[in-house]
Amino acid sequence: MTTSDLFDDLPRLNKDVVFTPTRAAGLAQLETFVSRMGDHYTAQRNYDLGAQDRSTASALSPWIRHRLITEEEVLTRALARHSPSAASKFVQEVFWRGYFKGWLEQHPSVWKAFRHDLRLAYARLENDEVLKHDYTDATEGRSGIACFDHWVNELVQTGYLHNHARMWFASIWIFSLRLPWQLGADFFMQHLLDGDPASNTLSWRWVGGLHTKGKTYLARASNIAKYTGGRFNPEGQLAGLAIALEELEEHPFVPLPLPSTAPQSKTLRLITEEDCYPEIGAIQSDAPVLRVFTPMPEQSEQVRAFKQAALQDTEVLSSANWAACVIEAAQAAGTREVITAHAPVGPTATHLAQAKPLLEREGITLHQQMRAYDCLTWPHANKGFFKLKKQIPKILAQLDLKP
Ligand SMILES: Cc1cc2nc3c(=O)[nH]c(=O)nc-3n(C[C@H](O)[C@H](O)[C@H](O)COP(=O)(O)OP(=O)(O)OC[C@H]3O[C@@H](n4cnc5c(N)ncnc54)[C@H](O)[C@@H]3O)c2cc1C
């Protein structure tokens, strides 16, 4: 049985959207939603109507996250169907992903600090009975706050939450349940099909007041009641105040990588979960392919299976195997040049950084190719989102994405 078969057998909890990990399914969802990317999205996007009705947002994130479909493709369809002003809200939201990716790329110590502090938080759990009890209640849907408990179950079962539910969830986790934000961010990474080192870590930091320093997001019962269509109203159960989290560590700016050198001869294409279809707009080549994948230890079976199927049922490797596997495949292909899509900050980038010197020892060069979209977007993602937002029309023109 392949992992794709496994997905066919999953309970169809999202009546509207089944997150099948193929490019074809992503393109089909794109076509389903394209008529709603204009005024409908602008008016409805904040409403979370639950897993039975995903009509208010595109639900494209699991496919975009793994680049089974690309931001460029999504923007092209939005602007072909709607006027620039009607599509502007949707277009901006798509650019939020590029903003977070570019920002983390230029502040990589945030990811390192998150992983470090997460290990400390898990160690604390072992020694602090009260914390362990509260954490277990929260992650098993027994916090006593009905909406929160519902979102825990929705997340675990479907691998997805609406953006507004993610904001409320993170806010309740940090300010009402007073749990360490790193454990909440990791709970999302374990279960979200679109779990992304940049969008997830930086969104949690944004809610907690660490991204835009001192500015927090406070979930309010009236807002939840309105935007869940009256399904929930946690009146009297939520914190009334959100005091910004603080951290001692500074996160210095690091320049973006220089463009990678181009391979001189025959290559091997290395495909990772960061960009499952680099041949769509990034790496024009029909060279032999090697797909590599190592799940993060804590990832849910649903997330692991999504990624593995997105990589066309590639074998799961232990992290130590990457260099050996690439060397073997390069030798079999008769080449010393390997090309891959640039892996942004996160576990894949770490695996590649560890493999690179071992490849070099064998005389194999690893070229990491950045997509035009990232090259144009990321340089504007080093401060607040507004700086990038101002550049959107120019970037769209540079990408030749005209209505
Ligand atoms: C606490 C928290 C954690 C999050 N974790 C993740 C994550 O791990 N992975 C992830 O892809 N997004 C994350 N987001 C951002 C956002 O919630 C999701 O991208 C969005 O809900 C996906 O649903 P959609 O495809 O229907 O979005 P739509 O509203 O239809 O937007 C279209 C696309 O634009 C991008 N996008 C939209 N809003 C955002 C945003 N605020 N930030 C970044 N990209 C955005 C996504 O690629 C999305 O698929 C998080 C947000 C919060 C508040």
Residue 235 lies in a domain: no
- Tell me: do 336 and 384 sit in the same domain: no
Residue 233 lies in a domain: no
pLDDT at res. 26:
97
- Tell me: do 83 and 126 sit in the same domain: no
pLDDT at res. 258:
85
pLDDT at res. 315:
84
CA distances from 73 to 30, 60, 284, 393, 396 (A): 9, 12, 16, 16, 12
- Tell me: do 59 and 126 sit in the same domain: no
CA distances from 181 to 118, 122, 217, 266 (A): 9, 12, 13, 47
pLDDT surpassing 60 at residue 11: no
pLDDT surpassing 50 at residue 83: yes
The total of structural domains in the chain comes to: 3
- Tell me: do 320 and 338 sit in the same domain: yes
Give the Å distance between the CA of 333 and the centre of ligand 1.
39
Q: What CATH number has the domain bearing residue 219?
A: 1.10.579.10
- Tell me: do 88 and 129 sit in the same domain: no
Residue 30 lies in a domain: yes
Residue 244 lies in a domain: no
pLDDT at res. 330:
96
- Tell me: do 338 and 387 sit in the same domain: no
- Tell me: do 192 and 154 sit in the same domain: yes
Looking at ligand 1, which residue's alpha carbon is closest to its atom 29? 57
Q: What CATH number has the domain bearing residue 312?
A: 3.40.50.620
Residues 301-348: pLDDT tens digits? 999 999 999 999 888 888 778 999 999 999 999 999 999 999 999 999
Give the Å distance between the CA of 206 and the centre of ligand 1.
13
Residues 123-155: pLDDT tens digits? 999 999 999 999 999 999 999 999 999 999 999
Give the Å distance between the CA of 96 and the centre of ligand 1.
8
16 Cβ closer than 6 Å to some ligand 1 atom? no
- Tell me: do 127 and 217 sit in the same domain: yes
Ligand 1 atom closest to Cα of 61?
Answer: 49
Ligand 1 atom closest to Cα of 195?
Answer: 8
Give the Å distance between the CA of 163 and the centre of ligand 1.
6
Residue 186 lies in a domain: yes
Q: What are phi and psi of 291, to 5 degrees?
A: -105, 135
Separation CA 376–CA 347 (nearest Å): 24
61 Cβ closer than 6 Å to some ligand 1 atom? yes
- Tell me: do 56 and 157 sit in the same domain: no
- Tell me: do 305 and 212 sit in the same domain: no
346 Cβ closer than 6 Å to some ligand 1 atom? no
If one residue of 191, 203, 307 were mutated to test the ligand 1 pocket, choosing by the most ligand atoms within 8 A of its CB, it would be: 203
Separation CA 33–CA 25 (nearest Å): 12
H-helix or E-strand containing 323? helix 322-333
Give the Å distance between the CA of 115 and the centre of ligand 1.
21
* pLDDT band, very low/low/confident/very high, at 3 (cuts 50, 70, 90): very low
* Cβ 399 vs Cβ 373: under 8 Å: yes
Residues 200-214: pLDDT tens digits? 999 999 999 999 999
Separation CA 296–CA 344 (nearest Å): 16
Place of tokens 């009256």: 230
How many H-runs (helices) and E-runs (strands) does the chain carry? 18, 4
pLDDT surpassing 50 at residue 13: no
- Tell me: do 223 and 118 sit in the same domain: yes
Ligand 1 atom closest to Cα of 161?
Answer: 21
Residue 23 lies in a domain: yes
Residue 240 lies in a domain: no
* Cβ 30 vs Cβ 77: under 8 Å: yes
Across 1-39, b (16+ Cβ under 10 Å) vs e yields: eebbeebeebeeebeebbbbbbbebbeebbebbbebbbe
Give 210: exposed, middle or buried? Use CB within 10 Å, 0-12, 13-18, 19+: buried
Give the Å distance between the CA of 361 and the centre of ligand 1.
40
Domain boundary among 200, 227, 254: 227
Query: Torsion-angle region of residue 83: left (phi > 0), alpha (psi -120 to 50) or beta?
Result: beta
pLDDT at res. 16:
65
For residue 41, the Cα-to-chain-centroid distance in whole angstroms is: 21
pLDDT at res. 226:
98
Q: Tokens for 10?
A: 């999953």
Q: What CATH number has the domain bearing residue 25?
A: 1.25.40.80
**Domain interval for residue 363:** 268-369
- Tell me: do 132 and 215 sit in the same domain: yes
If one residue of 33, 61, 171, 187 were mutated to test the ligand 1 pocket, choosing by the most ligand atoms within 8 A of its CB, it would be: 61
pLDDT at res. 403:
53
Give the Å distance between the CA of 201 and the centre of ligand 1.
12
Mean of pLDDT over the chain:
93
pLDDT at res. 306:
97
